[in-house]
Structure 1
Amino acid sequence: MAKYEQLSNFIISNVGGKENIVSITHCMTRLRIKLNDKSKANINELENNKEIISCQEAEGKLQVIIGTHVGEVYEDIIRIIGDNQQKDDEPQEKGSFINVFAATITKIVVPALGVLLACGIISGLNSVLMATGVITADSGTYILLNAMGNACLTFFPVILGYTSAVAFGMDPFVGMILGAILIFPNIAVDMNAGEALFTVFEGTPFAMPVFKTFFGLPIIFPANGYTSTLIPIMLINLFASKVEKVLKKHLPAVTQQFMTPFITILFAGAIGVLVIGPISMILQNGLQAALTWLIGTSKILAFAVITLIYQPLVIFGLHWPLITLGIMEFATGGCSLIVASIFPASFTHMAACLAVLLRTKSPKMKSISLPAFLSACFCIIEPSIYGVTLPVKKRFAYCMAGGLVGGLILVLTNSPMYAVSMGVTGFMAFVNPAVGNFTGLIWCLVACLAAMAVTFTLTWVTYKPGEDGKNEDDVVYESTKNITHKKEVIASPVSGEVKALFTMKDEAFAKGSLGKGVCIVPDEGKIVAPFDGTIGALYPTGHALCIESENGAQVLIHVGTDTFDVKENIFTTLKKQGDKVKKGETLIKVDLKKMKEMGLNTETAVVVTNSNDYLDVINTNKNRISCNEPLMTTVISDVSLEMAKA
């Protein structure tokens, strides 16, 4: 059996089976699963698994946060379901532009993150060795380490040519060639040699001279070339993927092996250099100009916003566009203040985990906080977020406060990073390789210590034991092996066809905004009590009522949609607010015939309005049901009961 086969099968089962999986990818800590039917995913079961940190929906996908071993789990899942779920023609992400952009950036940048960080560490090491006099700039050691450290960013268009091609569902080797064209040796020098024929956008920040033509068409090629850039190759490959799909559809199969890449490279390469490249550079320059303007307007405000939003963005996996802006800084200036400003964030989570580790008496919490602390050392903060800080929300706020303090120290002292590297291995990236200056490194140490001090102190001082004498973490994280569960069965208040709640035409019920439950299309005109309890509210029209059981379940029964203002005598109430009722007693009579004659929807929602108080609300699997038959079962643990009492 594979190492994570049991966990992989559990995940597959609780996302609705392999048939429900459209595609699955992963980043450093989380699986990103696109589903055919999101309602089939059992979020509660997934989150209750001790091997899963948390689950959430973001960017139109179910994100299952597992930890740094997510790659191994991913491989096991792919082995089980087969790679047919990794479809080349996967539908494009839907939603807002921000969600689409963030999802695309994540797909393209994350696969290259490992080598990007590795090269950053080597670059930082080379800077330290030269600054301390161990090596000189003309030594073979420096030359080789410099090549190792800068290879990733120098050839970034080739690397992103591969990852973006995979993301867009095209031949990755064609994508690499298109990236290589942009950084072909001496192409920038040759394209800008001689006298300029004319200048496009002359007199503006976007001015670009034209030195050469392609069959009479002007070639606008940046003087510094496309080395280290992101946006140009991403847009070129997006265009190339469309070209490739058309060719595969229309070219004879016998010629596709060589004709498809031939035409794609020729056409997309020419259009990329002549049109897409210049447009992408205008966009990239525009982003840089906007960022420069914001920093020039209020440097403190600009970076305060960046440092504050970074950690919340990590929760939703939307932080990559911010990091992309930082990489663009590297491309234009050889260093980045944006990446530097978010560098202390991981150290705040180290501090929070350390404070909790030292104060907690809970064995479960200790087992969570220690590995989370170690992960945060290497800038992998998801285990800390989902296991330590976010469950007790004030801690996450303390991490944001610490990140703000540390980030602003680096910004105000103008201490950028000269390589992309994070966590404890990133300190060397603050050494200026040009002059061998350690000032940035010193300020980085000060900033990280200050960030940690703020977070550690706030977490330590505000840490409160529970009123029952237990540590507050024991309530949140206590091992489930000693927990007993209590169940309450809710009978059906009406007879009819049972449907999923999300199928209702009433959006508030369909989205689950009012609680978990079911929809029933009634075939009998009476509403009965689903349990022994008290009528908490009864609407004057008689179309809806709330009833609370003796065990605390609060159930809303709502007959029809848009029935709140019906004037006709359709509903006859037999009880009043505050009445004690017994299970099976008739509460309301409904004239279903008149409702149908009036064209009213008879769908009846039965929802547990205090669903959040329960570990789960389990619905019947029957398609039809009669009054008094079991409809739903609420599940609550003794720990939940204690929390409710508190």
Structure 2
Amino acid sequence: MKQEDISKLIIEGVGGHDNIVELYHCMTRLRFIIKDDSKFNSSKLKAVPGVINTIKSGKEYQIIIGAEVDKYYNNLIAHGVKTSEGSSEITQHAQAKEPFSIKNVFKTGINTLVGIMAPIIPLIIAGGMVKVLLALLVIFGVSAESQSYQLLDMISDAPFYFLPFFIANSAANKFKTSSFMAMVMAGVLLHPIFIELVASGSDISLLGLPVYSVSYRSTVIPIILVVWIMSYVERVVERFTPNLIKTMLRPVLILLITAPIALIVIGPLGAYIGEGIYFIIERLNTYAPWTVPTIMGIFSPLLVMMGMHLSITPFAILSVSNLGYETLMGPGMLGSNIAQGGAALAVGLKSKNLAKKEIALSASITALSGITEPALYGVTLKYKRTLAIVMISGGIAGLYAGLTGVVRYAFASAGFLSLPVFIGDDPRNFINALITAIIALVLSFVLTYLFVKIDKEETLTTDKSEKKVKEEIKNVVDGIMVPLTEVNDEAFASGSMGSGIGICPREGKIYAPVNGRVSMIYPTGHAIGVVSNDGTEILIHIGIDTVKLGGTGFKLLVEKDETVKAGDQLVEVDLDYLKEKGFDDTVIVLVLNANKENVGVTDKKSLSSDDSILQITNNFGGDVV
């Protein structure tokens, strides 16, 4: 399926253009703020090629994509999806308040911090990976005194030194204020004259009021607070400035009001907060260095599931800025990420199902490289024992990292490829980081291989001692059964979208497979979703790439939300027209919301309207969740 068609499906799945308030993205997921929660169709979105999963975190809806999120984001923007800039409608939505409570304040603060940091993470990783290159160059004999090394060092430091500029721009988008004025405020904090005054050690004052002497380079919290206050200053100035001179007077007033407040009040407040956090980090590193890596090793999968792992990044940056290294994220997440990869590798090697094996092995490679979402959602969460094993293995590896004092000197996705970020003056740090990764890999692999049951793809069975049939899915079209793995579409054949079968149709009448409700109809008529009365979500996809026909050759006989019975005709298809245009007419039937282990597939080759093609079952063994 083409990317533009995928974008249309995503837009439809989140409720259409008019339902999207804001879109931004981080390294692996699209993040939406929408108007009407009821229009967010998680089942429909999970059926879109490339979508791993969907989750909700606070007011934010996240669509997990993986490494190709940039491509999805850019194509959505090309299709007119709103970003966070230039919309009064977005501003009004952003200002909607929840009832005041400590819980809501904390939740809003964390979500805001995550939203600000998410676009910045690639820049931080870019600088960190250049530092990895520098560490490798030193190992291979390049002098740290050479100009080449010094220039590369400058390049690696640039994202961190000028971090307040990037944070200012991102915060301005989040607080719905001028990004250019926000960057001017960052310029005030990083101006060479101010830096020289701070370095001189002399007292600094503005209009007789003391200015706190602090270096704001590589800081996060001060500029966020400054831009937040500036957003309110801008609104007040906008309200009271005469229209006749607004263009000239508004930016002057914003600058003259906000900059002194930043230097005298807000900047120092942010610095004090930062120093307090730094004090806590330093105490933990001194008296209980094992604590944070162990906790991160255990709970990283849960933080990633909620999209909240980014909220820790500012404090890790603060640690690197003050100490030259950090222990908050790197050591613990190294153990957790590698544990995810080890578990996925065990599932891939143990599985006898080709599609399941390919998904697990591919997910293990990305997890071992530092990107865990494909392993987490494609493998780990499918088996309750596997998630527990990953958390235990990550925790034990994190404990070892903490006890041996492993620190990370630069930022990169924690995995085998980024191990050089642990190279420092003490060679034991790198060795212990490597041991941490090996502990996580071996533990998670062995425990998963020994204690997690990886069932084969089930065929239809009446053996009640092993399976309890929950629901039967009737055939949708007369034809010849095609195993899903042999369908001529990688997204379907991989099984990543759901379990099911393909059918080579003998006729063009498509019938309802269950008693239920029509939950989704694609406008072109080539795809239709049905939810059974028992809650099973079924997708019927008629042909491969037939969306390109724009609806020609398809006649819809039902409407969305219409109640249907098994055997009711849903669509009429002109199969001769499909073949004339060169399209594969295979009909794919998928169950979207059942584990593959709980979907039995018929082994009957010739299918009539009376046949059952799938059975939804419950395992008494309890391995699958």
TM-score normalized with structure 1 length: 0.70
The aligned residue for residue 233 of structure 2 is 243
Residue 143 of structure 1: CA displacement? 1.0
The aligned residue for residue 26 of structure 1 is 25
Alignment of 1:430 with 2:419, yes or no, is: no
2:160 is matched with which residue: 142, 153, 164? 153
Alignment of 1:481 with 2:501, yes or no, is: yes
The aligned residue for residue 431 of structure 2 is 442
Residue 142 of structure 1: CA displacement? 1.8
Residue 455 of structure 1: CA displacement? 0.8
Moved more, 270-279 or 166-175: 166-175
Give the whole-Å Cα distance in 1 for the aligned partners of 2:516 and 2:146. 78
The aligned residue for residue 307 of structure 1 is 297
The aligned residue for residue 114 of structure 1 is 122
Give the whole-Å Cα distance in 2 for the aligned partners of 1:146 and 1:427. 18
Q: Is the 8 A contact 1:53 1:67 kept in 2?
A: yes
Alignment of 1:458 with 2:458, yes or no, is: no
1:164 and 1:478, CA in 2 relative to 1: closer, same or farther beyond 3 A? closer
Q: Is the 8 A contact 2:21 2:32 kept in 1?
A: yes
1:418 and 1:94, CA in 2 relative to 1: closer, same or farther beyond 3 A? farther
The aligned residue for residue 209 of structure 2 is 217
1:85 and 1:227, CA in 2 relative to 1: closer, same or farther beyond 3 A? closer
1:478 and 1:20, CA in 2 relative to 1: closer, same or farther beyond 3 A? closer
Q: Identity across aligned pairs (percent)?
A: 25
Give the whole-Å Cα distance in 2 for the aligned partners of 1:475 and 1:410. 37
Give the whole-Å Cα distance in 1 for the aligned partners of 2:398 and 2:192. 38
AA aligned opposite 2:430: L
AA aligned opposite 1:426: S
Give the whole-Å Cα distance in 2 for the aligned partners of 1:280 and 1:350. 38
AA aligned opposite 2:118: V
Residue 150 of structure 1: CA displacement? 1.3
Residue 413 of structure 1: CA displacement? 1.2
Structure 2 unmatched ranges of 5 or more: 99-103, 461-466, 468-484, 486-493, 504-510, 518-530, 540-557, 564-590, 601-613, 621-625
AA aligned opposite 2:319: E
Residue 469 of structure 1: CA displacement? 6.3
The aligned residue for residue 643 of structure 1 is 617
Give the match's secondary structure for 1:157.
Answer: helix
Give the whole-Å Cα distance in 2 for the aligned partners of 1:284 and 1:194. 20
Residue 192 of structure 1: CA displacement? 5.9
The aligned residue for residue 479 of structure 2 is none
Q: How does 1:185-584 map to 2 (within 5 A)?
A: 185-191=192-198, 193=200, 211-222=203-214, 225-253=215-243, 255-294=245-284, 298-341=288-331, 342-422=333-413, 423-432=415-424, 435=425, 437-466=426-455, 479-482=499-502, 486-489=513-516
The aligned residue for residue 57 of structure 1 is 56
Q: Is the 8 A contact 1:94 1:100 kept in 2?
A: no
AA aligned opposite 1:418: Y
Q: Structure 1, residues 107-157: CA drift from partner, whole Å, max 9, x if none?
A: 22221211211111211222332355x222321122111101111111111
1:142 is matched with which residue: 137, 149, 152? 149
1:175 and 1:363, CA in 2 relative to 1: closer, same or farther beyond 3 A? same
Q: Structure 1, residues 335-378: CA drift from partner, whole Å, max 9, x if none?
A: 11123322232222221222222122223223322332332243
Give the whole-Å Cα distance in 1 for the aligned partners of 2:309 and 2:97. 18
Give the whole-Å Cα distance in 2 for the aligned partners of 1:76 and 1:38. 23
1:470 and 1:289, CA in 2 relative to 1: closer, same or farther beyond 3 A? farther
The aligned residue for residue 627 of structure 1 is none
Give the whole-Å Cα distance in 2 for the aligned partners of 1:385 and 1:311. 7
AA aligned opposite 1:55: T
1:622 and 1:220, CA in 2 relative to 1: closer, same or farther beyond 3 A? same
Looking at CA atoms only, which structure, 1 or 2, has the larger radius of gyration? Answer: 1
Give the whole-Å Cα distance in 2 for the aligned partners of 1:129 and 1:41. 49
Q: Is the 8 A contact 2:57 2:306 kept in 1?
A: yes
The aligned residue for residue 73 of structure 1 is 72
Q: Is the 8 A contact 1:365 1:477 kept in 2?
A: no
Give the match's secondary structure for 2:617.
Answer: helix
Give the whole-Å Cα distance in 2 for the aligned partners of 1:613 and 1:76. 31
Q: Is the 8 A contact 2:26 2:121 kept in 1?
A: no
Give the whole-Å Cα distance in 2 for the aligned partners of 1:636 and 1:114. 33
Moved more, 249-258 or 361-370: 249-258
Give the whole-Å Cα distance in 2 for the aligned partners of 1:488 and 1:194. 78
AA aligned opposite 2:295: V
Give the match's secondary structure for 1:138.
Answer: coil
1:257 and 1:425, CA in 2 relative to 1: closer, same or farther beyond 3 A? farther
Q: Is the 8 A contact 1:21 1:85 kept in 2?
A: no
The aligned residue for residue 496 of structure 1 is none
- Number of equivalences: 497
1:295 and 1:127, CA in 2 relative to 1: closer, same or farther beyond 3 A? closer
Give the whole-Å Cα distance in 2 for the aligned partners of 1:34 and 1:296. 41
The aligned residue for residue 541 of structure 1 is none
1:333 and 1:250, CA in 2 relative to 1: closer, same or farther beyond 3 A? same
The aligned residue for residue 549 of structure 1 is none
The aligned residue for residue 474 of structure 2 is none
2:170 is matched with which residue: 163, 168, 174? 163
Q: Is the 8 A contact 2:393 2:444 kept in 1?
A: yes
AA aligned opposite 1:364: A
Q: Is the 8 A contact 1:485 1:636 kept in 2?
A: no
1:84 and 1:348, CA in 2 relative to 1: closer, same or farther beyond 3 A? closer
Give the whole-Å Cα distance in 2 for the aligned partners of 1:72 and 1:612. 33
Give the whole-Å Cα distance in 2 for the aligned partners of 1:368 and 1:147. 40
Give the whole-Å Cα distance in 2 for the aligned partners of 1:249 and 1:481. 62
AA aligned opposite 1:78: I
1:645 and 1:154, CA in 2 relative to 1: closer, same or farther beyond 3 A? closer
Give the match's secondary structure for 2:210.
Answer: strand
1:187 and 1:425, CA in 2 relative to 1: closer, same or farther beyond 3 A? farther
1:153 and 1:363, CA in 2 relative to 1: closer, same or farther beyond 3 A? same
Give the whole-Å Cα distance in 2 for the aligned partners of 1:476 and 1:116. 31
Q: Structure 1, residues 468-495: CA drift from partner, whole Å, max 9, x if none?
A: 86799999976433499741259xxxxx
Give the whole-Å Cα distance in 1 for the aligned partners of 2:179 and 2:196. 28
Structure 1 unmatched ranges of 5 or more: 196-210, 491-516, 518-552, 554-607, 624-633
Give the whole-Å Cα distance in 2 for the aligned partners of 1:48 and 1:635. 7
Q: Which has the higher contact order (CA 8 A, sep 6+)?
A: 2
AA aligned opposite 1:236: V
1:51 and 1:461, CA in 2 relative to 1: closer, same or farther beyond 3 A? same
1:382 and 1:256, CA in 2 relative to 1: closer, same or farther beyond 3 A? farther
Q: Structure 1, residues 240-289: CA drift from partner, whole Å, max 9, x if none?
A: 12222333344345644443332222221110110001111111122222
Q: Is the 8 A contact 1:364 1:477 kept in 2?
A: no
Give the whole-Å Cα distance in 2 for the aligned partners of 1:469 and 1:38. 36
Give the whole-Å Cα distance in 2 for the aligned partners of 1:149 and 1:636. 45
